[in-house]
Amino acid sequence: MAVVRLEVADGVGTIRLDRPKVNALNAELTAELRAVALEASRRDDIRAVVLYGGERVFAAGADIKEMAPMDVAAMSGWATDLTQTFELVARIPKPVFAAVTGYALGGGLELALCADFRIFADNAKVGQPEILLGVIPGAGGTQRLPRLVGPSRAKELVFSGRQVRAQEALEIGLADVVVPAAEVYDEAIRRAKRFVDGPALALAAAKRAIDDGLEMGLSEALRLENGLFVGLFGTQDQKVGMESFQENGPGKAKFTGH
């Protein structure tokens, strides 16, 4: 039985983690997540994505039983696979929302950090507890977390390994919104649907410009933005959008995603 599923409805693809009891990240889940992320990226009927671990837990971290006996060589391959898989999730060229219920610890939080937006349940508890095991985050926690909440806050969380509750996560910018646990998935779907009828190629370009631009110097990032902007003038949506603006005013274009 698959431990990661892709469920599609009304233009939104849900990447559903389903490895009882706590969605611990192991080699099997990593392989299936990689395949599903690639599928979600290429399917035209998916215009936005929700990452979801179910009603009880998002993902409680890596499978320690699988990791503990590994030596350096074995862990090198395991960690590389996980990091590359998370990068594929982060690179999905569509708006991605993480719907976080219960625990998102270690690799679970690192997966949530790959999303563009994070909707937290009011019962969410998140953190990077790797330091308590004598290691450090190895799938983006020391990189994506400081880019989101700042280096000082990230260091405090990584150095201490402590868990953060939903309200604090909202205050430090780790969560974008906090809702009752029973509403977190529906809220993520509602927000994702805002982009289903949008200009898919322009949304993909905007995501790439922001994400890649943050890793560049300003001059190089501006050149990236300029190239992506100019390239969109070869799309059908640019023609539709500008013709609609001239005829009907802003916000009324019927985009096709091409």
Residue 1 has pLDDT above 90, yes or no: no
Residue 66 has pLDDT above 90, yes or no: no
* Among the ranges given (47-61, 64-78, 154-168, 189-203), the one the predictor scored with the smallest mean pLDDT: 64-78
Share of the chain above pLDDT 90, in %: 91
Question: Computed over its alpha carbons, how large is the radius of gyration of the chain?
Answer: 19
Output the CA torsion 40→220→215→15 (10° steps): -10
Identify the band that residue 90 occupies on the pLDDT scale cut at 50, 70 and 90: very high
* Among the ranges given (24-38, 139-153, 196-210, 244-258), the one the predictor scored with the smallest mean pLDDT: 244-258
Residue corresponding to tokens 């499978």: 63
Candidates 57, 73, 55; CA nearest to 21 is: 57
Using DSSP, state whether 214 is helix, strand or coil: coil
| Tens digits of residue pLDDT in 108-146 | 999 999 999 999 999 999 999 999 999 999 999 999 999
Residue 65 has pLDDT above 90, yes or no: no
What's the pLDDT score for residue 251? Answer: 86
| Tens digits of residue pLDDT in 181-229 | 999 999 999 999 999 999 999 999 999 999 999 999 999 999 999 999 9
What's the pLDDT score for residue 62? Answer: 84
Catalytic residue among 53, 61, 107, 138: 107
- Euclidean distance between CA atoms 58 and 53, whole angstroms: 4
**Contact assessment for residue 24 and residue 60, using Cβ atoms and an 8 Å cutoff:** yes
Catalytic residue among 62, 98, 192, 204: 62
CATH-assigned architecture of domain 200-248: Orthogonal Bundle (1.10)
Catalytic residue among 59, 121, 130, 225: 130
Candidates 162, 167, 170, 113; CA nearest to 142 is: 113
| Tens digits of residue pLDDT in 45-55 | 999 999 999 99
Positive or negative, the Cα torsion across 55, 56, 62, 68? negative
Annotated catalytic residue 215: no
What's the pLDDT score for residue 183? Answer: 97
Annotated catalytic residue 171: no
Strand order in the sheet with 4-9: 4-9, 12-17, 48-52, 96-100, 117-121, 177-179
Catalytic residue among 110, 121, 124, 127: 110
Domain ranges, ordered by start, for the chain: 4-193, 200-248
Written out in words, the top-level CATH class of the domain with range 4-193 is alpha beta
